[in-house]
Amino acid sequence: MDISRSEARQLALVGHGFAKNARYSSPLHMLQHLGAIQLDAIQRVDRAHRLVCFARDYSLSGRDAIDVSLWTSDGEALVFESWAHAVCILPVDDWPLWHFLRDRLRKASWAPSQEASQRIVQLLTDDGPQTLKELEAGTEKSSGWDWSETKRAAEFLVWTGSIVCCERRGTKRVYDAPERRIPEQLLRQEPDVAESLMQLIDRAARVYGIATAGDLADYFRLSRLEIEPLLPDLGLVSARVDGWGERAWVHPSVLNGSLQSVSPTFVSPFDNLIWDRDRVRRVFDFDYTFEAYKPVAKRRFGYYVMPLVVADALVGRADLVREKSRLVAKAVYFEDAKTADVDTALEAGQRLAMQLGGLEFQIDDVLSTDI
């Protein structure tokens, strides 16, 4: 297929679930489509995983409702936390697909002492689920990025599947034994690496809509050398995209999608749509850098800047902050001053403000990146 740049943008947005015919019955259903939703602790607007859900389902409102539909406190889990593109929540049905990565991580150089690992596993087995604070009782405590031996061991055990996190108490992880939370039939499955990679690449291709081999590898941080030989056997459509300079692959599921009537939408800095900054530049001609960790004087756009999706393009961005009963855009920047439309930012901001709990939306300033 020959694909124009405009068509490539539309296919990408359809794949990511912004299409008119994208309908989700729940945040869990959305997670199952995306394969992973990134977690991050910054709450300047809201938690990253909630913003991903809000951007794709306009009917969602209420911050806690999303968490309740994903994390559960007992019985068979719906999700588990692990490393995918970054630290993410993953649908529990995908537990077997990540067996190969858990197995590889067990050989990591940062593996904790056997004593620390055994102590945590024994505590969870004997006493049931516990938070980090409970696991650290009577031992050295973690402080920020200064992790205690217990914290390091707990993280390693989560990534390798020896313990699991399928529940949160507020923002705190609750650790548990996998036998209590992961369905037994999933625990028993150990697919081979090629089978797992095929399914993960297919998921990445479905979400990206149209992608290069490098894009597909990056979605779940897989090895391009490992996945590239598998691409011809996935039923993807080979394509040439104007200006890309590399073969693209189209997932058949996006070819009948439609972007009609999609409302203007702000997306989080951790949204799957903009995970790969090189891809965002290639597909949307949009240059994005997350500036929260830069010194104030070196920030160009602000602390928590959310790109603005309008129709099939990323047309601008806003530095957003939630302040009590208001959602404030400290500044809105449009890529092109000639086509800047403040009404689109107002529409996107007002909808997000309502989803966050009926807040008022306010724009302090409107600027252009091409000035």
Percentage, residues of the chain above pLDDT 90: 79
Q: Tell me, yes or no, whether 9 and 137 share the same domain.
A: yes
Decide if 201 is inside a domain.
no
Residue 56: the pLDDT is 93
Residue 217 lies in a domain: no
Same domain, 170 and 290: no
pLDDT, residue 146, reads 79
- Residue 83 counted as domain residue: yes
> Any idea which of 17-26, 95-104, 150-159, 264-273 has the lowest mean pLDDT?
17-26
Q: Are residues 154 and 280 in the same domain?
A: no
77-120: pLDDT as tens digits: 999 999 999 999 999 999 999 999 999 998 888 788 899 999 99
Please count the other Cβ atoms lying within 10 Å of the Cβ belonging to residue 6. 12
Q: Dump pLDDT digits (tens) for 309-350.
A: 998 899 999 999 999 999 999 999 999 888 789 999 999 999
pLDDT for 240 equals 97
Same domain, 26 and 123: yes
Residues 285 and 170 in one domain: no
40 within 8 A of 47, measured Cβ to Cβ? yes
Residue-range definition of the domain harbouring residue 162: 2-188
Interval 39-92: pLDDT, tens: 998 999 999 999 999 999 988 888 788 999 999 998 999 999 999 999 999 999
Mutual orientation of helices 27-34 and 193-208 as an angle, nearest 10°? 110
End-of-domain residue from the set 130, 155, 188: 188
Q: pLDDT above 70 covers what percent of the chain? A: 97
pLDDT at 371 over 60: no
Q: How many domains does the chain have?
A: 2
Give residue 340's pLDDT.
Answer: 85
Whether 329 is covered by a domain: the verdict is yes
Residue 206 lies in a domain: no
Strand 130-131: give its sheet, edge to edge. 130-131, 172-176, 164-169
Asked whether residue 215 carries a pLDDT value surpassing 60, the answer given is yes
**Token pair of 307, please?**
């790109």
Q: Which two tokens stand for residue 33?
A: 């489509």
At 124-168, the pLDDT tens digits run: 999 999 999 999 987 888 777 778 899 999 999 999 999 999 999
Which pLDDT belongs to residue 261? 61
**pLDDT for res 259:** 62
> For 134, what's the count of Cα atoms within 13 Å in the CB-facing half-sphere?
14
Overall average pLDDT of the 210-219 stretch: 97
Instruction: Give the integer Cα–Cα distance in Å for 245 and 213.
Output: 12
pLDDT of residue 184 exceeding 90, the answer is: yes
Is 166 found in the same domain as 283?
Answer: no
pLDDT at residue 64, as a whole number:
82
Q: Are residues 160 and 297 in the same domain?
A: no
Share the mean pLDDT of the chain: 92
Q: How far apart are CA 57 and CA 78, in angstroms?
A: 19
Select from 137, 167, 188 the last residue of a domain.
188
The residue behind tokens 């309008």 is: 310
At residue 260, the pLDDT reads 63
Residue 204 maps to a domain: no
CA distances from 309 to 90, 331, 371 (A): 25, 16, 21
Mean per-residue pLDDT, 24-28: 90
Residues 23 and 132 in one domain: yes
Q: Assess whether 180 and 289 both reside in one domain.
A: no
Residues 164 and 46 placed together within one structural domain of the fold: yes
pLDDT computed for residue 36 by the predictor: 98
Q: Produce one character per residue of 56-87: b if its CB has 16 or more CB atoms within 10 Å, e if not.
A: bbeebeebeebbebbbbeeeebbbbbbbbbeb
Residue 219: both structure tokens together: 């979605």
User: What are the CA-CA distances from residue 342 to residues 210, 316, 318, 354, 355 (Å)?
Assistant: 30, 10, 11, 18, 20
Q: Is residue 200 part of a domain?
A: no
Higher-confidence position of 139 and 34 = 34
Half-sphere exposure of residue 345: CA atoms within 13 angstroms, side-chain side = 27
Last residue of a domain, one of 124, 153, 188: 188
Six-digit token string for 127: 């006493």
CA dist 225 → 222, 234, 242, 333 (Å): 9, 16, 25, 39
Amino acid at 159: W
Tell me, what's the pLDDT at 368?
Answer: 72
* Of residues 60 and 220, more confidently modeled: 220
- Residue 21 pLDDT level (bands cut at 50, 70, 90): low
The verdict on 165 and 295 lying in the same domain is no
The answer to whether position 210 is within a domain reads no
